[in-house]
Amino acid sequence: MAPMGIRLSPLGMAVFCLLGLGVLYHLYSGFLAGRFAFFMLSEPAAGGPETSHGSAPGGAVDLRELLAVSVLAAVRGGEEVKRVREGNVLNAKAKGKTREGAEEQLTTGDLLSNRRMFYLLKGAFPAVQINSEERVDTADQETVSWDRSIPEDIKQKIQPKEVPAESVTVWIDPLDATQEYTEDLRQYVTTMVCVAVNGKPVIGVIHKPFSSYTAWAMVDGGSNVKARSSYNEKTPRIIVSRSHAGKVEQVARQTFGNKTVIIPAGGAGYKVLALLDVPEKNQEEADVYIHVTYIKKWDICAGNAVLRALGGHMTTLTGEEISYTGSDGNEGGLIASINMNHKALIEKLPDLEKTSHK
């Protein structure tokens, strides 16, 4: 006899299928709920730093806006520098030594300017990397807002231009020429902001707090400063650091002639302005700027950007372009010029490069 089979009725089959679907629904809905919770926890909170106007990770930065806030930052920092100096509350102290053995000074002006400049820039562009000469104390955080207004002269000369936020590095020098600042040599003091894109300086701001003069420029954009029209390439006036004047003078006179004028000065920002047409009564004029030792990038980035925007050059002593990524120091010294044969200048100064790593 054939074995007896079990046959389900159509109603039983329907009940069995419904039970199966119920089990699958329960399992899959739990999985979806878990994925949804993970997604919500992974997203930044609405209105958080990552979603603020200006920039976002993986987003874009408008260089015209960044120029506007950089000018404001340099001016605001300069206000702190001037207030501290005029109040004679510098509280100067040594923060270390240079490679040449000279003491580096730190004042209240450096710290307050740095705080004001850093938090203004960081608040406006939270996703952008900012490198500053002074350490930022997170316990002393300051809320400095930007109303997003763009000065008319920038509006008229600069068009909006967006670049990826991750390609931007901002370099701040909250008080250039601190040594001269402590000696009350105010004409040398500047506050500076530089914007580099993929390591190339494209925006430079140099502000003189004690005269309220500000120079700014953007590569392939515009500027509020011009190069001087007259230069003497045969017997140039060479501006150098006060501490390095003796080191440069002998070689400079040998290469350019005994009539070469050596101008000792403080501050990298001041020295770059000496190459330009600056309406300042206390601003000396020079044809070439030379630095023969190690120098930090926040000292030179803004000046480099301004010169590039005006068709000038700032390179190492061997003619290499300076990259504003990676380490904060430039090992190869520098030579800067504008409206001159830069390559010919470098060829005249072969011996200076040997001293740049000391």
Annotated catalytic residue, options 110, 169, 214, 287? 110
Contact 353, 247 (CB under 8 A): no
- Domain membership of residue 139 (yes or no) is yes
Per-residue pLDDT tens digits for 152-200:
999 999 999 999 999 999 999 999 999 999 999 999 999 999 999 999 9
* Max mean pLDDT range (130-134, 144-148, 158-162): 158-162
Per residue in 12-63, pLDDT (tens digit) is 555 555 555 554 454 444 444 444 333 333 333 333 333 334 544 458 999 9
pLDDT for residue 306 = 98
Predicted pLDDT at 230:
81
Residue 68 and residue 184 share a domain: yes
Residue 27 lies in a domain: no
Q: At 270, list the tokens.
A: 């001041």
Taking only the tens place, the pLDDT of each residue in 206-233 is 999 999 999 999 999 999 999 988 888 7
Residues flagged as binding site: 133, 173, 175-176, 299
Per-chain mean pLDDT for the chain: 84
Token digits of residue 170: 């901002």
232, 141: one domain? no
Annotated catalytic, 137? no
Summarised one tens digit per residue, pLDDT across range 61-105 is 999 999 999 999 999 999 999 999 999 999 999 876 565 556 788
Do 85 and 198 have their domain in common? yes
Please check whether residues 257 and 199 belong to one and the same domain: no
Which of these three, 223, 252, 268, is where a domain ends? 223
200, 223, 246 - which closes a domain: 223
**Contact partners, residue 243, CB within 8 Å, separation at least 6:** 100, 102
CATH code, domain carrying 237:
3.40.190.80
198 and 236 housed in the same domain: no
Percent of the chain with pLDDT over 90: 61
Structurally, how many domains does the chain consist of? 2
Structural domain including 266 reads 226-348
Of 223, 251, 278, the domain-final residue: 223
Annotated active-site residue in 169, 178, 315, 316: 178
Q: 144 phi and psi, to 5 degrees?
A: -125, 115
Q: Are residues 311 and 344 in the same domain?
A: yes
192 and 287 assigned to the same domain: no
Side chain identity at 228, as an amino acid letter?
Answer: R
Known binding-site residues for Mg(2+) equal 133, 173, 175-176, 299
* CA distances, 337 to each of 109, 140, 202, 275 (Å): 31, 40, 17, 7
CB 85 within 8 A of CB 170: no
Mark whether 67 and 189 lie in a shared domain. yes
For position 78, which CATH number holds? 3.30.540.10
Whether 173 and 269 have beta carbons less than 8 Å apart is answered as yes
| 49 contacts 125 by C-beta, under 8 angstroms | no
Is residue 47 situated within a structural domain? no
Q: What is the pLDDT of residue 274?
A: 97
In a domain, 102, yes or no: yes
Q: Is 178 considered catalytic here?
A: yes
